[in-house]
Structure 1
Amino acid sequence: MKRLIVTTLLLNGLFLALLLPRYPWIPWIAADALLLTGLFAVLPGGRSKQLLAGAIGVLYALLAFFALSDVLIRQSIGRPFNLYLELGAAGSVFDLMESNLGLGLSLLVILVLSVAFAGLGGYVGRLLSQLGADTPARAGRLVAAAGAIAVAASWLPQSTVGLSASRLAATQIQLAADTHQSTLAFRQHLEDTPDAAQATPLAGLVDTDVILGFIESYGISAFTDPRYRPLISLRLDQMEEALEEDGLHIVTGRLRSPVQGGQSWLAHTTLLSGQWIKTQLDYEIFLASDFPTLIDDLDTTGHETVAVMPAITEAWPEGQAFGYNRIYESSTMDYRGPAFNWVTMPDQYTWSWFQRSVRDRAETPLFAEIALISSHAPWVPVLPVLKDWDSIGDGETFNQWKDSGEAPASLWRNPERVREHYGRALDYALNVATEYAIRHVDNQTLLVLIGDHQPAPLITGEKASRDVIVHIISADPELVAPFVANDRLPGFRWGAQPDRDREGPAMARFRPFLQQQFGEPGNTVEISATEPVEK
């Protein structure tokens, strides 16, 4: 009887440890643990019981892995664990670990976690297999009955009787089914919109260089959160003043990103396509569809289309699917300086190289998509902005900061210091972008600086807006004026500071807006039917 009580308490604690992160309230009963304890207390001993206990242990180890994954995913990209989506992301997760921790430490972390999960599963299996010998049958049946009642009660809507791993498993199954149906609906939507499946020349931009700079993790929280607002608001004031002194005009607004904390390519594709692309499956379906994007619009207009992707370090077949005329990635950007953890090269080099090696050599108007990655986690080290841009050259000058700053593994032990570094890295990215604009934006340039997504919930807090900040800059006021007080893309206003209180429209509205404002007269392109409805 004593073994039954101790095992019940131990298993209840082990299951609660896995289930609690999913709930805002504190229950006391892990229903499945109670049911399993009772069942194994009345099962006869033997080989079959040992095998069944081992199988339950394996299932518990998997549940432990899923529970940890859920916590990490919620903290990194602001959504719950979805096994249907996560199966295809393992490679990207390992690449991120390797770039921040190194191959050796990454493998060590995986080994330690594997041993820990195996140990937990083995412990649960041993606890269950040892039940029964000294347990009164009546007591076992009572515990099993109580467990069955608790499991049933846990399935009731808004139940607070107990927690059930079986209900969470069913939730994952339902989530997978819903995600599958959502992807099928998205595929059908692309097939059912033939009128939109064609490029639209943007006659109003025919002689204009269009530069789209995605600033990593430039979310609205950088401006609205009291922890970052003093630094970033001051930077935006300085940006506005510097641009105005140079005769440039700036308009600022907000757009809602489909993602948070990561998967930047989903935000990029949403903006370029005018379709709401929030999952990897949507992304893959879109790439296979040959549906046109802003790249095609400007290619049809007569622009040379280029992608500048310093974070790309391996083969990127998706880039070919987008149809760029040229793609530049880390190995083709002539950089001879050091990498800074995940950041392959600083933004100042990216801007400098783009101007020297791409824009200055262009014989036709350009459309350039540029990924600006200095504000990508782990946000260490934060470099100074070099005053002499001519000294940047091939980037060897950045060797003076090689191995500067502390290791990410050390910094990330202190969340407050991580947040401080995030603000400083973003301040650097905005400062460099402003300096580029002052030097190279003229009346035949439309520069769009936009965040790809908010940083992780660790930085923003839970339930933060998914809006990002957008700056439209040109020396020609007629290029930026259409963005102001326009109901088709509401919320934009003159200056560098966005509206703190008014939420932005979806990123998917940006391409249709450009088509409406800069396309041929009479253009009647409608906003994407896939724009999300807030619930």
Structure 2
Amino acid sequence: MKRLVILIFILNALLLALVVPGGASVPWIAIEGLVLAGLFLWLPAPWLRRGLAWGAGLLYGLSAMFVMLDTLVRASLGRPLNLYLDTSIMGASVDLLEANLGWMTTLLVFILALALCLVLASLVAGLLVRIGDLGHHVAGRHLAAGLAGMAVIGLILPVQLVGATAVRIGAVHAGEALDARQASQRFRERITTGTGGQAGDAMALAGLAETTVVLAFVESYGVSALFDERYRPMVQESLTGLEAAVEERGFHAVSGRLRSPVQGGQSWLAHGTLLSGLWIDSQQDYDALLSSQSPTLINDFQATGHQSVAVMPAITMAWPEGRALGYDRILDADAMGYLGPALNWVTMPDQYTWSRLHDTILGPSREPVFAELSLISSHAPWVPVLPVLEDWQSIGRGEVFEPWRGAGETPSSLWQDPERVRAQYARSVAYSIDVVASYLENRMDQRTLLVVLGDHQPAPLVTGEGASRDVPVHLISANPALIEPFVGTEDEPGNGLEGFRRGIWPGDQPGPAMDVLRPFLHRYFGVRGNISHP
């Protein structure tokens, strides 16, 4: 009898383990454990017990795999698993793991996850078979007394109907997948008919006709870097340095916050949202944007007379999305001409990206440029973090970074300690801001409007659960008339973007959604086009 009780206890614990990661309250008893134990105790035929046991075990293994995937998505993207949305990003997720851990380690991770599910399936099946076998060796009155005792315990202690909870959770996931599919269909219909965006058709931005505009996305630069006390001291020091550089050059700055559609990853959805003026929070919506040829800021600036350039050092394979968006020129990892060392996932440091932009695009160009930059030094795994080199002339093709080849500990070592991971995150963001400050001091000209912003918050491992999805935005220019509209003009002080204010440090007021920027530029620089240039 003692062995039987132990087996049922283990079965009970395994069943409860399925619902705890989903946020369910922790009960003491899974009713299905009692039901299954009773069923297998009374099943007469051994072959029937074994067949049903393996069926139940395989079902448990599949459930465990689903729970693990859901937990992984929550930890990395800050939301539950969505079967409709997430099937399209599995390839990108595998590529990210491979880039950070190597293909051998990535393969080992998948093998271990599959092996764990099979082991769990085998364990549950074995438990049920063993319970059935033991039941036929226990005296009737002892068996009856044991089941009656378990029933009494079930009435007294908190119980959990795991099957009902799993069905409920599954129904919620199915409903979310259906909602996401319907939302994507509505999104596709709206942009196909031209009724879905805030920004509408392409519009020449006359007020920016003589201005080079650099839109620089800093990877994982979220408001937690500024307002979470674990990161604020280090990042504040860098922002203070950026503010000093602005003042030294006689420039002007406005800062605020914008809400990103994503957290932890899928940066291209944030890029697409800001460029298009459409809220894009799924791969399906992004694909719809590309296939629709809906206009974006790229088209707006081309209509204004700008050369449009995408500087994408993380793009290491073919990028048909860039061609679909219609850039005049794309600098991917190969076109960047970098000869220095890769830094784990980071193909090249931010300082090289800025240097290449200036030497290849901005310096030689005789026409205004609209450049979108993807700055990746603050991308996980956040090791190593380089110093900012004072001599920009020495950067060349990146050979100057050779001393940092293989520098720092390995990501697999660092990521064993969450506290050190968080410290490295703060250091990497500080580096990215320091590079902006140095570029402003040494390279930025008087006719550039620099827009520096985050693409999204880092994963919940860094921010904690329930963090804001806002990202900081900094607008810097030598011409105050270019940034004045963001805080409101003297004639219209209330018409700026909500929460934006002068200076480098944004306030703690939540910002508007990221898709407001394009219609805002239309309103103040397109229709009016009344910005004078010094």
Q: Normalised by the size of structure 2, how large is the TM-score?
A: 0.90
1:14/1:206 Cα in 2 relative to 1: closer, same or farther (>3 Å)? same
Deviates more, 1:402-411 or 1:16-25: 16-25
Deviates more, 1:96-105 or 1:342-351: 96-105
1:141/1:173 Cα in 2 relative to 1: closer, same or farther (>3 Å)? farther
1:295/1:148 Cα in 2 relative to 1: closer, same or farther (>3 Å)? farther
- Over residues 402-428 of structure 1, what are the superposed CA-to-partner deviations in whole Å (9 max), with x where a residue is unaligned? 111000111111111111111111111
After TM superposition, give the deviation of residue 438 of structure 1 in Å. Answer: 2.4
- Over residues 276-315 of structure 1, what are the superposed CA-to-partner deviations in whole Å (9 max), with x where a residue is unaligned? 1111222122222221111111111111111010011111
The question of whether the paired residues in 2 share the 8 Å contact of 1:31 and 1:147 is answered with no
1:289/1:336 Cα in 2 relative to 1: closer, same or farther (>3 Å)? same
The question of whether the paired residues in 1 share the 8 Å contact of 2:27 and 2:160 is answered with no
Corresponding position of 2:347: 344
Unmatched tracts of structure 1, length 5 or more: 156-160, 524-535
Deviates more, 1:167-176 or 1:392-401: 167-176
- Over residues 154-201 of structure 1, what are the superposed CA-to-partner deviations in whole Å (9 max), with x where a residue is unaligned? 68xxxxx99732322222222222221222222233234348552111
Matched, 1:483 2:507: no
Matches within 5 A, 1:26-41: 26-41=26-41
Matches within 5 A, 1:126-145: 126-135=126-135
CA distance in 2, matches of 1:146, 1:449: 64
After TM superposition, give the deviation of residue 436 of structure 1 in Å. Answer: 1.3
CA distance in 2, matches of 1:121, 1:515: 58
CA distance in 1, matches of 2:347, 2:453: 20
The question of whether the paired residues in 1 share the 8 Å contact of 2:32 and 2:163 is answered with no
Q: Give the secondary structure class of the aligned counterpart of 1:214.
A: strand
> Given the alignment, which residue of 390, 400, 404 partners 1:401?
404
Amino acid at match of 2:503: G
After TM superposition, give the deviation of residue 51 of structure 1 in Å. Answer: 3.0
Q: Give the secondary structure class of the aligned counterpart of 1:305.
A: strand
CA distance in 2, matches of 1:62, 1:417: 34
CA distance in 2, matches of 1:45, 1:183: 51
The question of whether the paired residues in 2 share the 8 Å contact of 1:29 and 1:163 is answered with no
> Given the alignment, which residue of 275, 288, 293 partners 1:290?
293
After TM superposition, give the deviation of residue 327 of structure 1 in Å. Answer: 1.1
Matches within 5 A, 1:392-471: 392-471=395-474
After TM superposition, give the deviation of residue 110 of structure 1 in Å. Answer: 1.8
After TM superposition, give the deviation of residue 339 of structure 1 in Å. Answer: 0.5
The question of whether the paired residues in 2 share the 8 Å contact of 1:30 and 1:163 is answered with no
After TM superposition, give the deviation of residue 66 of structure 1 in Å. Answer: 1.8
Corresponding position of 1:531: none
Matches within 5 A, 1:102-117: 102-117=102-117
Amino acid at match of 1:469: P
RMSD: 2.6
Indicate the percent of aligned positions where both proteins have the same amino acid: 51
After TM superposition, give the deviation of residue 462 of structure 1 in Å. Answer: 1.1
Corresponding position of 1:252: 255
Matches within 5 A, 1:57-456: 57-135=57-135, 164-194=165-195, 197-456=200-459
Amino acid at match of 2:110: I
CA distance in 2, matches of 1:33, 1:141: 12
Matched, 1:492 2:500: yes
Amino acid at match of 1:222: A
Deviates more, 1:324-333 or 1:435-444: 435-444
Q: Give the secondary structure class of the aligned counterpart of 2:17.
A: helix
Q: Give the secondary structure class of the aligned counterpart of 2:88.
A: coil
Amino acid at match of 1:521: R
User: Which structure: larger Rg?
Assistant: 2
1:358/1:282 Cα in 2 relative to 1: closer, same or farther (>3 Å)? same
Unmatched tracts of structure 2, length 5 or more: 489-493
Matched, 1:512 2:529: no
Amino acid at match of 1:310: P
CA distance in 2, matches of 1:249, 1:350: 24
Deviates more, 1:230-239 or 1:398-407: 230-239
Amino acid at match of 2:407: S
The question of whether the paired residues in 2 share the 8 Å contact of 1:75 and 1:456 is answered with yes
The question of whether the paired residues in 2 share the 8 Å contact of 1:204 and 1:518 is answered with yes
> How many pairs does the alignment contain?
515
- Over residues 192-232 of structure 1, what are the superposed CA-to-partner deviations in whole Å (9 max), with x where a residue is unaligned? 43485521111111111111000011100111111111111
1:241/1:116 Cα in 2 relative to 1: closer, same or farther (>3 Å)? same
> Given the alignment, which residue of 503, 506, 509 partners 2:510?
503
CA distance in 1, matches of 2:475, 2:407: 34
Q: Give the secondary structure class of the aligned counterpart of 1:69.
A: helix
Q: Give the secondary structure class of the aligned counterpart of 1:462.
A: coil
Deviates more, 1:509-518 or 1:3-12: 3-12
CA distance in 2, matches of 1:299, 1:34: 69
Q: Normalised by the size of structure 1, how large is the TM-score?
A: 0.90
CA distance in 2, matches of 1:31, 1:270: 47
Amino acid at match of 2:84: Y
1:146/1:60 Cα in 2 relative to 1: closer, same or farther (>3 Å)? farther
The question of whether the paired residues in 1 share the 8 Å contact of 2:352 and 2:395 is answered with yes
Q: Give the secondary structure class of the aligned counterpart of 2:303.
A: helix
- Over residues 337-370 of structure 1, what are the superposed CA-to-partner deviations in whole Å (9 max), with x where a residue is unaligned? 0100010000000000111011122232111110
Q: Give the secondary structure class of the aligned counterpart of 1:330.
A: coil
CA distance in 1, matches of 2:357, 2:62: 47
CA distance in 2, matches of 1:280, 1:177: 15
The question of whether the paired residues in 2 share the 8 Å contact of 1:337 and 1:345 is answered with yes
After TM superposition, give the deviation of residue 376 of structure 1 in Å. Answer: 0.6
1:522/1:396 Cα in 2 relative to 1: closer, same or farther (>3 Å)? closer
Corresponding position of 2:491: none
The question of whether the paired residues in 1 share the 8 Å contact of 2:208 and 2:529 is answered with no
The question of whether the paired residues in 2 share the 8 Å contact of 1:255 and 1:506 is answered with yes
CA distance in 2, matches of 1:146, 1:168: 28
